Chains A and B, each alone.
Chain A
Amino acid sequence: MIAETGHYALILALGVAIVQMVLPVIGTRYRDPQLTAIAVPAAQLEFILIAIAFFALMTAYVTSDFSVLNVWQNSAAAKPMLYKISGVWGNHEGSMILWVLILTLFGAAVATFGTNLPRQLQANVLAVQGSIAVAFLLFIVTTSNPFIRLNPAPFDGQGMNPVLQDPALAFHPPFLYAGYVGFSMAFSFAVAALIDGRIDAAWARWVRPWTLAAWMCLTLGISMGSWWAYYELGWGGFWFWDPVENASFMPWLAGTALLHSALVMEKRDALKVWTILLAIITFSLSLMGTFLVRSGVLTSVHAFAVDPARGVFILAIMGVFIGGAFALFAWRAPLLSQGGLFAPISREGSLVLNNLLLTVACAAVLVGTLYPLALEALTGDKISVGAPFFNLTFGPLIVALLIVVPFGPLLAWKRGDLLAAAQRLMAAAIVALLVMVVVFAFMQKGPWLAPLGIGLGVWLLLGAVTDIANRVKLFGATPEEAWRRARNLPRAAYGGALAHAGLGLVVIGIVATTAWRAERIEALAPGQTLDIAGYQLLFEGVEPHQGPNYRARVGMFKVTRGGSPVTELTPSKREFTVEKNTTTESAIHISWRGDLYVVLGDQLKNGAYSVRVYFNPLVRLIWLGGLVMFIGGGVSLSDRRLRVGAPKRARAKAEAAAAGE
């Protein structure tokens, strides 16, 4: 009954979405306020209906109702509760429901909290959101229905892939989806502006919080995925340039560019057409990511051809939205006015450079991801595009970007003084150079580029500090004055500096762990020891262990450093009974120097175990940096000007000015 309720709510939601897509547009076209006003309750109702469908599916998972095909395929009675819940989105059908749930949540938020938006803009935005919901609900109802019943109901489910039974991965998809779908807001605002033919600085102010929130979620989602891959996949890698990862990385790159160009638009009324285009591109990349993974085209072009129903449907959705938006853009963009002029050396100029490098870097990832697919589809030739390609194409662009990041915030709007900015950054540059020299002197091993990379990270960190010090006139004013300025500085300034500092941490982490990781692969018998990076590991043997839905063999390692005990590590191999699968659970000792990472392998013929031990220096900085970027986004989001909303203040100001005349 619950599953049928969910199914019913899903179909009702499709009807409501059609209403939300059609009526407001007619209303704004023929200036009928009643039709226009339908957008708000429609968006709210649609969210409620999808939430009912979502929780109906969740109930089926929590109560292990194996009469529902989707639950039977992806869950099992003995699975821990956390993974029963995360199992809802741990499969194709459920994850599409989550996608639409987040989409309608954003729509309902615009309907409920967007009261300061012009009616017409709000109605058009909600109509575009409605059209996205229609497309995806049609997709779910016709090809991916999670509420199909089984009769008779099986006794137990088939279980969930064990590598996915992990806390970080339980929360990774909702954040990633919130990121993808969040960019649909920027897309809807862009299309609404194109329909309207009018766009101004206030538009950027409304779009920025949504873009920022989406960007934050995506940043956290990608960090979580990378962290999970690091400890779960058993060899300590954190990024693989896999098409699946690239699918989430491309919207992040374009979204980062969008955040920066929206800043120019908000502050200076410039780059309007470009910002609109970027908003369309960012969401298009999110849709493409959905297509790449959901259609199965990545596994093989042939797999796609064998069962094309879903793939062709998503391809059609992609074609309609991307094609439609670009056509609308080509038609309407020339009508949009261009604002504010600026000199090449200026804050605007630096943000244009930011956008140039980010979008070209994004194009490099796009080409590397799609080229092998296109080549195979067209000629049948199979090639691989791996890390070496991305290091050569994406790498130089990002390094160039990182070098110029600290200059941007120090340049004035309209016309900046590069020399003055360089002088302010002198201290940061000198410290970064010193760090490079010291690292070069102390680390004989490793590639010669590594010290430069560390110096680059330090440069970014200190650049962020310089930015704030400069804004509060730390060295030019009295301490009281600096403190007063520090308190009055807008939170967006702190947020931006934090995000840039987080980027510096990520760079240091990536460079250090890539360049100076230590590795030992040995066959150890119980009682033998292994030395790595100053640690001694004593292998004490292997013990059996019984988990809730798996059996494990646990390796026992006593870790000492210079004779004094440090910790005990217990890497294990888990055998999942229902899923008939094994996973490797690495054991990690965390210290400020880096991670000691131990993996237990198979038993060899002579009774010894093969053991793999890594020391990954400073690797935590990668995810710490991601977290700092996320927090920076949050601080920026809490800025007063984004909470208060532009139009009210502008109106108040205009009235005050009118009263003064």
Chain B
Amino acid sequence: MAARFSLGVWLFSLALVFSVASPAFAVQPDEMLKNPVLEARARALSEGLRCLVCQNQSIDDSDAPLAKDLRILVRERLKAGDSDQQIIDFIVSRYGEFVLLKPRFEPHTWLLWLATPLVLLAALAGIIYSYRRRESVAEAPKPLTAGEKRRLKRLVGEG
């Protein structure tokens, strides 16, 4: 269990739950491929794959044993000549979609991906609507409060 701890305060509780703080020390020299092109691809792929037992940490950043296994797995598939897509499909078939840091666009994530644009559109529509409405209603003077009415009476000499 590698702890990629972030903003500390909230973390106190998490830290106590896990009560482990291991040094983050991810990719090991002996794991790396000799071929720099393949190694670069391995690093790029690793950045998009989640270390399953960590908090939102990629296998590239994690030193958990599971992350190491996944890194080696990615490199083995690369050496075997798989394409990036084949490798990702292979790992998802083994570990499930949870392993992807970028969720796929599928029915159960439509709302996730579309929520932000929808909120933006709704907010824009809201602004335009309220602006139009206020423009059409000429600024009506506010009715006076009771205190202001009393003061007005006093000022015009009726008090």
Residues of A within 8 A of B (CB): 74, 89-92, 95, 161-164, 169, 172-173, 176-177, 198, 221-222, 225-226, 228-229, 232-235, 237, 239-245, 247-248, 289, 292-294, 296, 298-299, 303, 337-338, 341, 344, 352, 356, 359-360, 363-364, 367-368, 371, 375, 379, 381-389, 392-394, 397, 521-523, 573, 581-584, 599, 601-602, 604, 610, 612
Q: Which of B4, B30, B103 sits near A233, CB closer than 8 Å?
A: B4
* Contact present for A161 and B7 (CB under 8 Å): no
* Contact present for B15 and A164 (CB under 8 Å): yes
B112 nearest in chain A by CB position:
A371
B109 nearest in chain A by CB position:
A383
B56 nearest in chain A by CB position:
A242
* Contact present for B12 and A233 (CB under 8 Å): no
| B108 vs chain A, min Cβ distance (A) | 6
What 14 additional pairs, Cβ within 8 angstroms, besides A89-B9, A173-B12? A74-B16, A95-B9, A221-B9, A229-B5, A229-B6, A237-B61, A240-B56, A247-B10, A363-B115, A363-B116, A387-B101, A521-B27, A583-B21, A584-B25
Q: Within the assembled complex, what's the spacing in Å between the Cα atoms of A221 and B23?
A: 23
- Contacting chain A: which of B73-81, B82-90, B117-125? B117-125
* Contact present for B16 and A91 (CB under 8 Å): yes
B67 close to chain A: CB less than 8 A: no
| A215 vs chain B, min Cβ distance (A) | 17
Say whether chain A's binding surface is mostly helix, strand, loop, or mixed: helix
* Contact present for A248 and B10 (CB under 8 Å): yes
Q: Within the assembled complex, what's the spacing in Å between the Cα atoms of A552 and B110?
A: 50
Q: Which of B10, B109, B115, B142 sits near A289, CB closer than 8 Å?
A: B10
Number of chain B residues whose Cβ lies closer than 8 Å to a Cβ of chain A: 61
Q: Within the assembled complex, what's the spacing in Å between the Cα atoms of A235 and B51?
A: 15
A299: B residues at CB distance < 8 A: 14, 17
The list of the 8 closest CB pairs from A to B, nearest first, reads A386-B101, A584-B23, A388-B102, A293-B10, A225-B7, A173-B9, A163-B21, A523-B29
Q: Known contacts A363-B115, A386-B101, A521-B28; is A91 also within 8 Å of B12 by CB? A: yes
Q: Which of B17, B97, B100 sits near A296, CB closer than 8 Å?
A: B17
* Contact present for A162 and B56 (CB under 8 Å): no
| A293 vs chain B, min Cβ distance (A) | 4
| A173 vs chain B, min Cβ distance (A) | 4
A169: B residues at CB distance < 8 A: 8
| A223 vs chain B, min Cβ distance (A) | 10
For window 16-55 of chain B, which residues contact chain A by CB distance below 8 Å?
16-17, 19-30, 32, 48, 50, 55
Q: Can you name 25 A-B pairs with beta carbons within 8 Å?
A: A161-B12, A161-B15, A164-B15, A169-B8, A221-B9, A233-B24, A237-B4, A237-B61, A293-B11, A360-B123, A363-B119, A382-B97, A383-B103, A384-B50, A385-B103, A385-B112, A386-B56, A386-B58, A388-B102, A394-B116, A522-B29, A523-B29, A584-B23, A599-B23, A601-B23
| A552 vs chain B, min Cβ distance (A) | 12
Q: Within the assembled complex, what's the spacing in Å between the Cα atoms of A602 and B56?
A: 24
Q: Within the assembled complex, what's the spacing in Å between the Cα atoms of A239 and B50?
A: 16
Number of residue pairs A-B, CB distance < 8 angstroms: 212
Q: Which of A364, A393, A582 has the most CB of B within 10 A?
A: A393
B94: A residues at CB distance < 8 A: none
A522: B residues at CB distance < 8 A: 29
Q: Known contacts A233-B24, A235-B24, A240-B57; is A356 also within 8 Å of B124 by CB? A: yes
B129 close to chain A: CB less than 8 A: no
B25: A residues at CB distance < 8 A: 234-235, 584, 599, 601-602, 610, 612
B127 close to chain A: CB less than 8 A: yes
| B3 vs chain A, min Cβ distance (A) | 7
A226: B residues at CB distance < 8 A: 7
B104 nearest in chain A by CB position:
A383
B139 close to chain A: CB less than 8 A: yes
Q: Known contacts A382-B96, A388-B101; is A244 also within 8 Å of B7 by CB? A: yes
A74: B residues at CB distance < 8 A: 16
* Contact present for B12 and A248 (CB under 8 Å): no
B108 nearest in chain A by CB position:
A381
Q: Which of B12, B13, B101 has the most CB of A within 10 A?
A: B12
* Contact present for B15 and A163 (CB under 8 Å): yes
| A222 vs chain B, min Cβ distance (A) | 7
Q: Which of B12, B102, B123, B142 sits near A92, CB closer than 8 Å?
A: B12
Q: Within the assembled complex, what's the spacing in Å between the Cα atoms of A388 and B48?
A: 8
* Contact present for B97 and A381 (CB under 8 Å): yes
B101 nearest in chain A by CB position:
A386
B119 nearest in chain A by CB position:
A363
* Contact present for A90 and B12 (CB under 8 Å): yes
